[in-house]
Every structure is written in structure tokens, then in C-alpha cells.
Structure 1
Amino acid sequence: MMEKVIELLKQPSGFFPMILLRRYKDLNISELEFVVLLEILNTDLEFNPKRLSTELKMDLNELLELVNGLVDKGLLKIEIRKVRNMRSEYLDLTGLYEKLAFFIVNEEVEENNENLFDIFEREFGRPLSPMEYEIIQSWCGGEFSEELIILALKEATYNGANNLRYIDKILYEWKKKGIKNKEDVEKQRKNFQKKKELQTKELFDYDWLNETEDTDHM
């Protein structure tokens, strides 16, 4: 997920500056550092302090101080590259991409978890306890999708068992059977129903009268 978000941030569009504007305070950077980053994004990443200071109408020493601050915060790296037998300094924004991607991914997880907690509280008809929050969080952080967790909740509610222990058993039973989504759950239900109908048919097909007669003759 992180890799996909990073690739999206690197695309030449207005998405990255928009995210940076929204999140620059979370990166613990000043407005001036934010402006420097925006200007760097408009360059070919070759580090030319004089040109940058001219573009920003900023004192060279002030610019270098801001760039060093961004390096110290892990958002920038200055690399030496050899181009056409000449050594030049280039700016690497990997740290910035990674931190912004982290914020985006975690924001999405938090939003999903909030929705999931709301669903549980609605189904249970009461607020969740801190321990219940932790258990649900562990499911989300593990190998169970939100879809599967909600299906297990509905299954438990249908059976009149509004408790996480029952839901936990359902989830791990589904895991053993390789059930991963709604389609798998529906397939399992249909198979169970067919098996039940077959057992009922066999029960009605049994010749109880003849069995009684045979018993009487014995």
C-alpha cells in the first residue's frame, strides 16, 4: 500500500502539492520550509542554491539554513551524482514521499476503523469497552478484512451472540476453511444448506414402516 501511494505522489500532477499543503504542519516544518519544498518540486532536483535563492527572493544563507533544516528532519537528502564527467549535487525527496505516504495510509486506516467501531456499537446497542476496541483493532491489523469482520458480526448478531469471543471464533473458523470474502461466506452457506436439505430428504425417504414390520417379525 505504501509503495502505491508513494508512486502516486511522484506522478506529475497537482496531487502532491495539495497533500503537502494539507500536511506540512504534521511534518513539523515552517511555512518558509514549505515554500522551499514547493520550489524544489518545480526544479529538476539539481541543487542550485543560488538559483533557488533568486527564484524565492531569499538570502542565500537563509535558504541554505532552511535546506539543512529539511535534511535534519529526514525530508531531504543531498546526493553527489556524476553527470557527463561532472559532479553535481541533487536533492532526493524520498524521505518526504515516505512520510506523506505514511500519513495518508494511516488516515485511511483510522477512518475505516472509526466506521467499523460505529457499526459494532450500533449492532451491540451500546458503547464498546477499551478492551473491545483493542480486539477489533487487532483484527484490522491482522489478516481479516473489514468486510469479513462485518460479516462475522452479522453472523453473530443473527445467532443472538453479541460478543467478541463468538465473533473471534467465527473469524478463525472461516480462516481455517479459507473463507476470505462475502462470496466465500455465501458459498459456504449454500453448501451447508444443501447438506442440511439432503439429510432431511434422507430422513423422509427412510422406510420407517418396513423397519417396524421387520422388527415385529424378529
Structure 2
Amino acid sequence: MKKEQFISMQMEGSVSLPAVLLLNYPKLGLLEPEMILLLQVQLFIQQGNPFPTPDELSGRMSSSSPDCSMMLRGLIQRGFLKIEEQEVGYEKYTLEPLWDKLFRFLTVPEQQECEPEITDESLYTVFEQEFGRPLSPFECETLGIWMDQDHHDHEIIKAALRESVISGKLNFRYIDRILFEWKRKGIKTIEQAKQSSRQFRYAQGKSKPAADAASEPYQRKVPFYNWLEN
């Protein structure tokens, strides 16, 4: 490496990372790829590009452009990143929501000791704990769709997750089928789910013979399990 190249590299600048963020980002609900993405966004901003594209971000990461796009969307939905309009027709990213979350995390510790209200970030954490791994960008996007587009209540989403665990079918497709069936039946509360569960068990005793059931077309039927009685 020539001296001129080395000097040019140093002139590109650096990103200052607060130690308190590095120590606590998992508790905020951030995954490692998301943390790296936020740092890359910050570096782009410092270098005069306040609105880098997923392709530009992917060029500096091991994540693909579609993965970067989904992570950006998820970070915005969960309140870690925000898009602001700086001029007519021009937009920019700001990490102000991230610093706001970090400040509230550090200054309101008593909220962490009591049972918190279910927030977007804690819902992501619940899913990661049940799956025993970080969620993929696609899974994060699906969870965001359930909340933001389908408008499922957080408790109902948790209930569908719990039911999939009990059924031994822990995957997003099965959970989506449960939510679809509950929404079709107009179920919006845990009490309604309990009532539907009782009706299901009653109907089990009057079910059709197997030959008749096999001839019926598939209609995305999802059974209810006894966890509602626990």
C-alpha cells in the first residue's frame, strides 16, 4: 500500500460508537446485522450521502441488497431509524430515534423491572427467544406486516406463536395460518380465542367421518389448542 492510499483512507473519516450502545444494543432489540447497517448509514451521512440506497449499503456489507432493504424497512417500523425530508424531492436518514430509545433505556430503568407493555421491539424479542435464533430479514418483515398492515393485536400475535409452539409447528407460515383463521372468525381478544377453543372441542365430538372429511376442499382450517385453558 502506498502512503498516498493510506492517507486517503484515513481522510474518509471514522464513526464514533458510544460504548453504552455497544453494551446494550441486544437489550434494545437490535440484531448484529441491523447494528452494522445503522453504523453504515451513519458513516454515509458523515461522508455527505444522507440517503444511501440498499445497493450502496450492501456494497459495504455481507448482506444482499434485498436484505438491506428489508432491514431498513424493519428498523423504520420499529422506531430505530427515520426518514426526513430535507428539501423538496430530497430525503435523508436520521438516527435520532435510535438515540431516543437508548436515552429512555438508560434513564427509565424502573420500567425494565416491571411487566412492560408489549412493544414492537419486545415482540421481536419474544419471537427470537421462542425460535432460539435471530429472525431473518424476511421473518422480521412478516412480523411487521402482521402489526402494521394486518393490524393484529400484539397479544393475539403472541397467542398464535404460543399455539404454534404447542402444536410442534414453529414456523411463520403456520403462525400466519392461525392469524388468518382468527381474523376470518373475527377473533380480536384472548377471551374470544378461549370461546372459539371451547366451541372447537365441542365440535370435535360431532365431527364428520374421515371419508367425508377427506372429500372436503382445503379451506385453511387451523385447530385451537388447550394452552388457552392454562
Task: Note whether the superposition's TM-score is higher than 0.5.
Answer: no
Alignment TM-score, normalising by the size of structure 2? 0.38
User: Which structure is higher in helix share?
Assistant: 1
Alignment TM-score, normalising by the size of structure 1? 0.40
Radius of gyration: which is bigger?
A: 1
